[in-house]
Amino acid sequence: MSYKLKVYIFIMSDSDDGDIPDRDTCQKLTEQFAEITGTDEACAQFYLQDRKWDLERSVNAFFESTSRGGINALHDGDEPELVIKVEEKPDIVFLQEVIPETFSYISDKLPEYMCIAGNVEGYFSALMLRRYTVYYDSHKIIQFPSSLMQRNLLCAEVHIGPLKLQLMTSHLESGMEHTKERLNQLQTAFKMIQKMPENQTVIFGGDLNLRDKELSVSGGVPPGIEDLWIACGSRKECQYTWDNVRNTNKSVPGKFKPRCRFDRIYIRHAHPRAVVPMHFGLIGIQKIINTQSFPSDHWGIQVFFNIEKSNLRDAAA
């Protein structure tokens, strides 16, 4: 006997970190956009982030979109379609590059999810737990002391019946010039995973900004931790989550279009194993209705697990 667990990773924004103005400027631009267009701040954030906080371009894009029937997913729909396909009812969602206004919007519009924020300002990671299937026990935020970008590790202890889970998500330091700090953050996360109680299944994922070469140089993935893309068959069609060949949200000059597996998800199994990874796929690969944009410049990750009830009974005995 088994039942399915669905875990998703979404990147909320496709802005480069270096293009983000300071918080006060962002708030001022957001308010100006909302006033000009007659929308709310969530809608303003969506358009401004996609256009590197250029107010004129963002306003023009909004009116061009609405003249064609428009995008309404973020300000007058019943659900934020750009954030999550609620009809698929994922049990656990890891969100990256969330801002306070968007976090508040998600929390208000999706009462069936418990939402946990990794910070109260700037850009941060967040967790969403489906209230009907996943039960919250506790959470903590681990700061990366050497981070120049205020990055941290958001951890939550939850359970699904007898299944005990430790959930960990992060947005690791961005940019080639910050490789050393990014790998330090990754090693911190891996060491924490290895110290978790053996009766817990640990799932760690997010926008890790990793290049394969970096991971190799740092010693690779520690024993006992599995890369779920590899565990589910290493399918080439879902290898790259930041893919400028297929995703046109970013304009990359020249013939070379970079493709990277920035977003990853790992598992450390409990003893005995309580879950079986069944499927690894990508989401957010269709353009938003009536626009020429994808939800993000990253594809989202979708992972399905089978929870083995028999193993859980044996562990309890």
**Among all chains, which residue has been given the structure tokens 């909004």?**
62
Q: Read off the pLDDT band of 72 (50, 70, 90).
A: very low
C-alpha closest to that of 272 among 316, 311, 226: 311
Whether the link from the prior residue into 272 is cis, omega within 30° of 0, is yes
Q: What is the mean pLDDT of residues 131-152?
A: 95
The total number of structural domains that make up the chain: 1
Cα separation, 12 vs 103, in Å, equals 10
C-alpha distances out from residue 57 to 5, 36, 44, 188, 294, Å: 41, 13, 12, 40, 17
Cα separation, 254 vs 264, in Å, equals 27
Q: Please write the tens of the pLDDT for every residue from 87-108.
A: 568 899 999 999 998 899 889 8
Q: Judge whether residue 78 has pLDDT over 70.
A: no
C-alpha closest to that of 146 among 119, 182, 192, 191: 182
Q: Judge whether residue 167 has pLDDT over 80.
A: yes
14 catalytic? Reply is: no
Catalytic position from the list 14, 207, 243, 297:
207
Q: Judge whether residue 223 has pLDDT over 60.
A: yes
Residue 176, class by beta-carbon neighbours within 10 Å (0-12 exposed, 13-18 middle, 19+ buried)?
Answer: exposed
Q: What is the pLDDT of residue 61?
A: 75
| Domain CATH for 54 | 3.60.10.10
Contact 264, 195 (CB under 8 A): no
Q: Judge whether residue 47 has pLDDT over 70.
A: yes
Cα separation, 221 vs 288, in Å, equals 36
Q: Quick one: tokens of 209?
A: 């900004």
Cα separation, 103 vs 156, in Å, equals 17
139 or 98, greater pLDDT: 139
Q: What is the mean pLDDT of residues 175-189?
A: 96
Q: Judge whether residue 112 has pLDDT over 60.
A: yes
Helix (H) or strand (E) holding 47: helix 41-50
Range of the domain at 185: 2-316
248-279 core/surface letters (b: 16 or more CB in 10 A; e: else): eeeeeeeeeeeebbbbbbbbbbbeeebbebeb
C-alpha 201 chain-centroid distance: 19
Entry pTM: 0.77
Q: Please write the tens of the pLDDT for every residue from 14-29.
A: 444 445 676 678 778 8
